[in-house]
Chain A
Amino acid sequence: MTAQILAKQTDPHGVGLAQHEIESRLTDMLAETLRIAPAEIDVSRPLPHYGLDSIDAVTLAGDLEDWLNVELPSTLLWDYPTVEGIASYLGEALRAQPAQTAHAPQDSQGIDDDLLDHLDDLEPGQIDALLDELIP
Chain B
Amino acid sequence: MQTLKQYRAAEALERQLGDPLNDANTLSFKNAMSWDEAEAFPQPAVDLLYRLGVNHHYVPASYGGRFTSYEEFQSLARSVARRDLATAVTFSTLVWSTLVWVGGDEQQKRRMAKTLRWTKEALCLAYSEEHHGADLIANECRAEKTAQGWRLNGEKWPINRATRSGGMAVLAKTGRERDSRSLSLFMVDKLDLDPAAYTNLPRVKTYGLRGCDISGVRFDNCQIPERSLIGDVGQGLELALRAFQVTRTLCAGLSLGVADTALRSTLDFALNRKLYGGTVFDIPNARRMLGEAFIDILICDCMATAAVRGLHVSTEQFSVWSAVAKYFVPATLERTVQELSVVLGARHFMRERHQHGIFQKMLRDGAVVGLFDGSSQVNLHALGLQLRHTTKARRNAGPDTARDERLATIFDLGRVLPSFDGRRLDLFSRGRDDVMQGFASALEHLHGLDSGTEVDGVVLGHLLRLTDEAMQALLALDALLDGPQGRALNPQSSQLFTYAKQYCVLHGAATCLHMWLYNRARLDGYFAAGEWLALALQRLLGQLRPQPDTLPNAYHEHAAERLKHLHDHQKLFSIVPLQLAPSHSNEEEKHHDRANTR
Residues of A within 8 A of B (CB): 33, 35, 46, 48, 53-59, 61-62, 65-66, 71, 74-75, 77-79, 81
Contacts and interface: CB of A to CB of B under 8 A. Distances in A.
B427 interface: yes
Contacts of A61: 428
Contact of A78 (B178, B181, B389, B490): B181
B396 to A, nearest CB: 10
B377 to A, nearest CB: 12
B375 interface: no
A57 B491 CA distance: 11
Nearest to B392: A66
B385 A56 contact: yes
Main secondary structure of the interface of A (DSSP, over half): helix
Contacts of B389: 59, 62, 66
A88 B81 CA distance: 51
Given A48-B179, A55-B381, A57-B180, A62 B491 contact: no
Interface in B223-246: 237-238, 241
A59 B426 CA distance: 12
A48 B428 contact: no
A18 B1 CA distance: 66
A59 B181 CA distance: 16
A4 B177 CA distance: 25
B177 A71 contact: no
Given A59-B385, A75-B238, A78-B238, A65 B180 contact: no
Contacts of B385: 55-56, 59
Given A48-B179, A78-B181, A54 B430 contact: no
Interface string B428-455: 1011000000000000000000000000
Contact of A62 (B137, B178, B179, B386): B386
Given A35-B490, A46-B177, A55-B381, A62 B238 contact: no
A48 B177 contact: yes
Nearest to A48: B179
Residue among B180, B181, B389, B426 having the largest count of chain A Cβ atoms under 10 Å: B180
B431 A75 contact: no
Nearest to B382: A55
A54 B138 CA distance: 12
A75 B418 CA distance: 27
Interface in B355-387: 381-382, 385-386
B491 A75 contact: no
Closest 6 CB pairs of A and B: A78-B180, A74-B427, A74-B428, A54-B180, A59-B385, A48-B179
Nearest to A49: B178
A30 to B, nearest CB: 12
